[in-house]
């Protein structure tokens, strides 16, 4: 792993400012429906965050917006694919959109509505599907953009920040990211419980 990082550092030195384009492209590909299954964009961003901790020529304050912009654009692509082709694609069994993943995403969207665009961003195998389903449902564009942007920024800070914090210790960072995702899962669960309990109490009145 150390040798891999050294090679990436050399690549960063060679690419210069275009390195941020690599970060943008990695986030875009991982987020876009289909490509996310084969493009480990979050791992790439994690590594670049670690490199930024030790490189004076590579700024973490530029990595974060580059990754966020790629993630936001990827979600927008999924949204418009859903609006244009969603109803046709959901009836086809393909590696891009399996019935199982679609049903999970649909249930999550139905339960959380617009907020699922933000919360879903932090859940693997859900983050690519939710914007697509929002497109099928013709969710209000301004509402989608709002949750899309804050979700993309939060996702970028999550991965870049942990990589930056642990520096070269990529193995430790990958271990901790699962714990962070677990925290997000408990937060989401708490929101769900709060919502369900509030609804039950309001029904009894």
Q: What's the structural domain count of the chain?
A: 1
Note whether 56 and 11 are within 8 A (CB). Answer: no
Domain that holds residue 192: 2-204
Indicate the Cα dihedral angle 162, 166, 168, 169, nearest 10°. Answer: -100
Closest alpha carbon to 124 in 28, 26, 22, 40: 40
The whole-number pLDDT of residue 193 equals 59
Interhelix angle 60-89/141-166, rounded to 10 degrees, is 140
CB contact at 8 A, 167 and 133: no
In Å, what is the CA distance from 125 to each residue of 43, 96, 151, 199? 15, 11, 15, 28
Q: What is the pLDDT of residue 124?
A: 75
User: What is the distance between the alpha carbons of residues 80 and 64, in angstroms, rounded to a whole number?
Assistant: 25
Beta-carbon neighbour count of residue 171 at 10 Å? Answer: 10
All residue ranges of the chain with pLDDT < 50 are: 1
pTM: 0.72
pLDDT tens profile 163-177:
888 775 655 555 566
Q: What is the pLDDT of residue 200?
A: 54
Q: CA-based angle 197:202:204, to the nearest 5?
A: 100
Report the 10 Å Cβ neighbour count for 23: 28
């Amino acid at each position: 792993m150390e040798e891999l990082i050294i090679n990436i550092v050399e690549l960063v030195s060679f690419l210069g400012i275009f390195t941020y384009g690599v970060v943008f492209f990695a986030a875009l590909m991982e987020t876009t429906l289909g490509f996310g299954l084969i493009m480990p964009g979050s791992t790439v961003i994690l590594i670049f965050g670690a490199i930024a901790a030790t490189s004076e020529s590579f700024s973490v304050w530029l990595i974060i917006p580059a990754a966020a912009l790629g993630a936001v654009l990827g979600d927008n692509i999924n949204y418009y694919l859903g609006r244009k082709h969603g109803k046709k694609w959901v009836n086809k069994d393909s590696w891009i959109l399996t019935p199982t993943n679609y049903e999970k995403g649909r249930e999550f969207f139905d339960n959380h509505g617009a907020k699922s665009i933000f919360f879903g961003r932090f859940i693997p195998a859900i983050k690519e599907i939710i914007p697509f389903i929002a497109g099928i449902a013709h969710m209000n564009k301004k509402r989608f953009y709002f949750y899309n942007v804050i979700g993309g920024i939060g996702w970028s800070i999550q991965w870049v920040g942990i990589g930056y914090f642990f520096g070269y210790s990529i193995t430790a960072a990958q271990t901790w990211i699962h714990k962070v995702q677990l925290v997000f899962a408990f937060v989401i669960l708490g929101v769900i419980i709060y919502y369900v309990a509030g609804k039950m109490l309001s029904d009894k009145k």
